[in-house]
A and B are shown apart, each in its own frame.
Chain A
Amino acid sequence: MIQITNQPIDAQQLLEAVRSPLAGAELLFIGTTREITGDRRTESLVYECYEAMALREMEQLAQQASQRWSLCGCAIVHRVGPVGISEASVMIAVSSPHRDNAFAAGRWLIDTLKERVPIWKQENWADGTSEWVHPGIES
């Protein structure tokens, strides 16, 4: 299950997608939109993506993780468009025979997604300003 959606993400769907009789561990990571960053308050977040390429990259991440950690299942769903405070912007679910591989794969998947997948967020700050988040670039 690899998806990009402009609707709220349903955790249950991801868990069902990775369910397997071979699994002894299911792990679900939920990335949520943070209201307070340092001393600034976020009013809302908007995500934009290059959908065709983002889906391809997410498929590749799932395949790589599945091979490297012998996963039973792997699901990645990212939300785009406006996302309210404390709502999920991304969910990753993995299942594996034992928990160590599930934790390792989940960690690698979210870290690598944030490095590679062409998705961007725009912070709309409570002070009325807004900015695209481009790590490594001074805005």
Chain B
Amino acid sequence: MPPSESPGSTANEAIEILFFAQAKEFAQQASLRLAHIEHETVAELRVRVRAEIPRLETLLPHCMFAINEAYANEHSPIPAGAKVACIPPVSGG
């Protein structure tokens, strides 16, 4: 069990956060697993991600979050086992 998971959290409940583009470079990793916290919102998760990966501090305020492949807002709760994505401003096209 990774150190970031609290006792009692199972692998199924853990959430995964994906990073892309500059966020992936700053984080120096493509994803991060964190324990699921009941009723945690996107806004609260941002704080946790910043604490885990301080290098993301300047970029995080510019990022949108998605939950299970759909854009979420700051009040959206993170379900157990969610696949979360940290999405810096997009530049496709």
Q: How distant is the Cα of A135 from the Cα of B89 in the complex, in angstroms?
A: 6
Interface size class, chain A: 20 to 34
- Counting from the closest, the 6 A-B pairs by CB-CB distance are A119-B92, A120-B21, A133-B91, A53-B69, A114-B93, A132-B22
Q: Which residues of B contact A99 (CB under 8 A)?
A: none
Nearest CB on A from B24, distance (A):
8
Interface residues of A (CB under 8 A from B): 31, 47-50, 52-54, 56, 78, 89-90, 110, 113-122, 132-137
* Category for how many chain B residues contact A: 10 to 19
Q: Once the chains bind, are B93 and A134 in contact (CB under 8 Å)?
A: no
Cβ contact of B88, chosen from A31, A89, A115, A132, cutoff 8 A: A132
- 9 residue pairs from A and B, CB less than 8 Å apart: A31-B93, A52-B69, A56-B69, A89-B93, A114-B92, A116-B71, A119-B92, A120-B20, A132-B91
A78 and B85 alpha carbons, distance in the complex (Å): 20
Chain B residues near A (Cβ < 8 Å): 18, 20-22, 25, 59, 62, 66, 69-71, 85, 87-93
| Docked pose: A121 CA to B71 CA in angstroms | 20
How far does the alpha carbon of A132 sit from the alpha carbon of B66 in the complex, in Å?
A: 20
Inter-subunit contact A137/B92 (CB<8 Å): no
In angstroms, Cα B18 to Cα A89, docked, is: 24
